[in-house]
Structure 1
């Protein structure tokens, strides 16, 4: 029998035409949506389009990524059509059509956290699976009483005014397909359905809503309620953690806050220390 993209009935392809009709509307930030069968990295592909002048709101979705990237150059791979693998192009450094000025660069660090809030909110509502955030960019769900990673976010600056945000969410992966024991999928977390079309629509709509509120507040995380909402959904806060810093070194203590710059504040015997980048290990189980 000839293999086709419809051979795996559990994982049908996305309907690009219906998705485009649903999310690329005059009132939305999304201006274009393309679905490709396979690519190395949607972030890399969209970066090339951004460099060529692509408008804000371009969305690139891949049914399969062969060289997907996470933070610290980690690889992200999964079977074809088993998850959501996509990137969006935002231009917070450009003025908007209605005359709103650029968002100050020092506030752009909130964009990956904004994407986390938007995605977790959409997945919780649409997939019926409680989704929490691990600072700075992981999406966590609980399987058999243990927190596991179901998705991740990678934000990369592109040029003077743009940021590309890549998102990967494991949707229908089986236990024997997981890349590492600490990973999981929405299906393994008990999601009643794994239809990716409504999930992608929900995430993009939520992301557009949060980005619009953030831009309207000139990127202010408090005025847009982003800071409060992130803290409420962040599983890292209140935990004993170890932050492994870029270039070596670590900070251990209790995660007590996410400050106005999006940094994780860790209370140590020497006082509170903000961490702007690094890997965070949860040392104490969630309460």
Structure 2
């Protein structure tokens, strides 16, 4: 069993059952999401005109302002709601930001160093999961769903490719911040902060809470053929938070994952490396097995150090 840092689950608990808290949060998030997208679309029309909004809707990358429009909609329609909903919920609805955001720094800072190795060594495991995911096929009677998933995946890839066009060091730094760091912070506040806490209070089981949250985290990204790799990442982030009682080790690991993709994409675009960031056959079977074993050992070390620190703090 995990020695969860959430020992006093009833402390500061809201009177509402966690299932109702979950529904309340979902309603808040949907409301903010609708408002954010409406403001984003309105701003695009105001600044660039309806043609740019139409080009955005049809993913017409030839439009001269498409990248700016994508960033406006990404910021106001996605990033802002993912940040605003959990913060509003934690401060206004349950009035317990310490428990639902976990923005404390009471964890061994050496774990951030171990986190670097964990994220680097998880790449072969992520690759093999990605390859398995790519081969999964739905039954024939769900061929329409399969086609929709494939089309959605292509659209997401096209949007990502457009936003990751980096011609200068300045654009690299911008993307590291706005694709690497900021999404890591806001997504962890929402998933490992609010949602994982709700499911922990609901199920009273850290493993179940982590798995449910990781599944929702992966599904939320709507990239169906990357579901298993993102599920693994969600599990890693979830255990980091449970073991440390802080959101920041998960934010750090999340940022490392996102930021590394951005940097590798920049280096590849400028022919500074020969590795294709989208290549899914970089490693072999030996690397897969070795990576999985070392990753498991590092996670055990991470858990031990985190819980020892927690026991000392509580003692």
TM over 0.5: no
Q: Which has the higher strand share?
A: 1
Q: Which protein, 1 or 2, shows the higher relative CO under an 8 Å CA cutoff with sep ≥ 6? A: 2
TM range (shorter): under 0.3
The structure with the largest helix share of the pair is: 2
TM-score by length of 2: 0.26
